[in-house]
Amino acid sequence: MKPTLASKRAEMLRALTETPLDLLVIGGGIVGAGIARDAAMRGLRTGLVEQADFAFGTSSRSSRLLHGGLRYLAQGRIGLVHEASVEKKILHQIAPHLAAPLPFIFPTYRSNKHWVLWQLKIGVKIYDLLCGGRNLGKSTWLNRSTLATLVPALNQTQLTGAVRYFDGFTNDARLVLDTLRSAARHGARVSNYTRFTAASRAQMWQAEVTDQLTGATGTIPTRAIVNATGPWADALPHSRVKLRVTKGVHLVVERSRVPVPDTVVMTEGKRILFAIPWGERTILGTTDTDYAGDPARVHTDQADMAYVLAVTNQFFPQARLTAADVISSWAGLRPLIADPHGKPSDISRSHEIRSPEPGWWDVAGGKLTTYRLMAEQTVDQVVKMLMAANGVARRPTRCRTADEPLLPEAEVRGISSVLPPGFSPDLVQHFCAREWAVHLDDVLLRRAGWHYYHREVEALAEQTSRGMAECLGWSPEQRLEEIRRYQQLVQSSPTPR
Ligand X SMILES: Cc1cc2nc3c(=O)[nH]c(=O)nc-3n(C[C@H](O)[C@H](O)[C@H](O)COP(=O)(O)OP(=O)(O)OC[C@H]3O[C@@H](n4cnc5c(N)ncnc54)[C@H](O)[C@@H]3O)c2cc1C
- Residues binding ligand X (CB under 6 A): 26-32, 49-52, 56-59, 61-65, 67, 195-196, 228-232, 236, 248, 286, 332-335, 366-369
- Distance from chain centroid for Cα 330: 12
CA distance 161 to 289: 30
Residue 368 C-beta: closest distance to ligand X, Å: 3
CA distance 337 to 342: 13
63/282 with CB nearer ligand X: 63
Which among 377, 350, 359 is positioned nearest to 226, based on CA atoms?
359
354/466 with CB nearer ligand X: 354
Which among 275, 280, 279 is positioned nearest to 251, based on CA atoms?
275
- Tell me the three state secondary structure of residue 457: coil
CA distance 281 to 258: 9
Residue 263 C-beta: closest distance to ligand X, Å: 11
Residue 299 C-beta: closest distance to ligand X, Å: 13
CA distance 443 to 436: 10
Residue 65 C-beta: closest distance to ligand X, Å: 3
Q: State phi, psi for 139 to the nearest 5 degrees.
A: -75, 150
CB atoms within 10 A of CB 33: 31
CA distance 279 to 327: 14
Residues 6+ apart with CB under 8 A from 256: 280
Which among 487, 450, 458, 465 is positioned nearest to 174, based on CA atoms?
450
46/229 with CB nearer ligand X: 229
430/446 with CB nearer ligand X: 446
Residue 257 C-beta: closest distance to ligand X, Å: 22
151/353 with CB nearer ligand X: 353
73/460 with CB nearer ligand X: 73
Residue 58 C-beta: closest distance to ligand X, Å: 4
Q: Please tell me the chain's helix, strand, coil percentages from 3-state DSSP, rounded to the nearest 5.
A: 40, 25, 35
Residue 197 C-beta: closest distance to ligand X, Å: 7
Which among 129, 131, 126, 37 is positioned nearest to 84, based on CA atoms?
131
Residue 251 C-beta: closest distance to ligand X, Å: 12
295/467 with CB nearer ligand X: 295
344/396 with CB nearer ligand X: 344
